[in-house]
Chains A and B, each alone.
Chain A
Amino acid sequence: MNTNDILLAVLVLIGAPIIGCIASGIDRKITARLQGRVGPPLLQPYYDVKKLLSKDNMVVNPTQNFYVIVYLVFIVLSLLMLVFKQDFLMIIFVYTVASLALIVGGMSTGSPYARVGSSREIMAILSYEPVLILYALAIYLLTGTFKLTAVLDASSPMLMYTPLIFIAMIVVLNIKLKKSPFDYSTSHHGHQELVKGMTTEYGGPGFATIEIAHFYEYVFLTGLIFLFWASNPIIGVLLGIIAYLLIIVIDNITARVYWQWMLKLSWSVLLIISIVNIAFLYVSGVQLA
């Protein structure tokens, strides 16, 4: 830990939510435009969070906010680990902690809607986690280590060798951002049979925490896409942005599907294309230069 590292960490801590907030604002703006509306101001997510923080802290269970804090700090940790080029497998596990914290937070409120939402989100884990780990495996196969250093230092883009995993990751991104067609556990704006799913009983500061964590999560998830073309940061960032935009468009042209359907999709199509990709890497033995 030298000064540079600390500076970088602080930069991430402060910068990520700003980027995430703007990204979320852009999302809402673009969604509105796709729907032929004007939409909210760009900084609307910021206003929302500010408002939520100034509201009463209404809870059903005094400990429910603990879980969302865990969610937040672990999202931040996984983002920091990504930035500091840590072990990718480890990052995924840390990220799982965050996801689970949110699920358990939802469950802990005891509200029936939150519980049904959480159990659907658990099923979401079942569909995306294998893909994430296979992604990690692909990195290992390409670089000989799970540490991200090699990927970030490589001179050629990973996308060349992992196109199928890239496709799978786009779907994972869609699941993780809880965008249509995969907004079955909670949905940001669209109306849902589960009310607000996992977050039904969260309001005020607790919900603000979730929103802030979402900001970090946006950055983290697009960071995962960035890795596919980390050799050229500009293209990498562009790739992240394109993926993000793509998901916004998909969000607007699909209906919500069932988690059962998603599970099937992921265990049949996503897993298989990922495994095919992995198998290719094994057989060809290519290494990232």
Chain B
Amino acid sequence: MGMLNLVLGNISRKPATRLYPFEVRAPFKEFKGRIVFNPDNCILCGLCQKKCPPDAITVIKADKTWELNVFRCIMCTECVNGCPKDCISISNERAKTGAKEFIKVAVPIVDKPKAETPKADTTKAPKAAPSK
């Protein structure tokens, strides 16, 4: 009768369900949600690209761009620990579901004047709009 007690217990209690889209639990601060890149200090050394196990980061010195394939990143934090300039950090926000996403950032090299503001643009694959 173990199971009977369990199911009757369940029905007499509130459901365990977290009503997800309507009721969101704040992510733990320890959670490795997504990679955040701060281009300000980046020296385009390419160490992060070297360290990244799935080759999610592409650093192109010539174009001065740093690119992350968000849908390939596995949240291993190798890049975070490996960056000599601490440009990469980790946020406990999740990356968005829906279309594929690349984060491509033009890197202002530090010794240049600060005038050139970093311009982040998020390129999205054309298909399918994500939901609200």
A276 interface residue per 8 A CB criterion? no
A269 interface residue per 8 A CB criterion? no
A36 touches B10 (CB 8 A): yes
Mask of B4-43 contacts with A, CB within 8 angstroms, 1/0: 1001101101011101000000000000000000000000
Binding site for B on A (CB under 8 A): 30, 32-39, 249, 252-254
Chain A contacts for B10, CB-based, 8 A: 33-36
B15 touches A38 (CB 8 A): yes
Known: A34-B11, A36-B10, A36-B16. 12 other contacts (CB 8 A): A30-B11, A33-B11, A33-B15, A34-B8, A35-B7, A36-B15, A37-B15, A37-B16, A38-B15, A249-B4, A249-B7, A253-B7
B3 interface residue per 8 A CB criterion? yes
Chain B contacts for A38, CB-based, 8 A: 15, 17, 19
Closest B residue, CB atoms, query A251: B7
Closest B residue, CB atoms, query A36: B10
Nearest Cβ in chain A — how far from B24, in angstroms?
A: 16
Closest B residue, CB atoms, query A31: B7
Contact-residue bracket for chain B:
10 to 19
Binding site for A on B (CB under 8 A): 3-4, 7-8, 10-11, 13, 15-17, 19
Bound: A253/B10 CA distance, A: 12
Chain B contacts for A252, CB-based, 8 A: 3, 7
Closest B residue, CB atoms, query A35: B10
Closest B residue, CB atoms, query A253: B3
Bound: A35/B13 CA distance, A: 11
Count chain B CB atoms within 10 A of each CB in A36, A37, A38 and give the residue with the most.
A36
Chain B contacts for A254, CB-based, 8 A: 3
Bound: A32/B13 CA distance, A: 12
Chain B contacts for A39, CB-based, 8 A: 15
Bound: A34/B10 CA distance, A: 5
Chain B contacts for A33, CB-based, 8 A: 10-11, 15
Nearest Cβ in chain B — how far from A245, in angstroms?
A: 11
Query: What are 23 pairs between A and B in contact, CB < 8 Å?
Result: A30-B11, A32-B15, A33-B11, A33-B15, A34-B7, A34-B8, A34-B10, A34-B11, A35-B10, A36-B16, A37-B15, A37-B16, A37-B17, A38-B17, A38-B19, A39-B15, A249-B7, A252-B3, A252-B7, A253-B3, A253-B4, A253-B7, A254-B3
Chain B contacts for A249, CB-based, 8 A: 4, 7
Nearest Cβ in chain B — how far from A236, in angstroms?
A: 26
Nearest Cβ in chain B — how far from A189, in angstroms?
A: 15
Bound: A185/B17 CA distance, A: 31
Nearest Cβ in chain A — how far from B40, in angstroms?
A: 46
Bound: A33/B12 CA distance, A: 9
Chain A contacts for B17, CB-based, 8 A: 36-38
Chain A contacts for B15, CB-based, 8 A: 32-33, 36-39
Chain B contacts for A34, CB-based, 8 A: 7-8, 10-11
Closest A residue, CB atoms, query B9: A36
Bound: A205/B85 CA distance, A: 61
Chain A contacts for B7, CB-based, 8 A: 34-35, 249, 252-253
Nearest Cβ in chain A — how far from B88, in angstroms?
A: 39
Chain A contacts for B13, CB-based, 8 A: 36
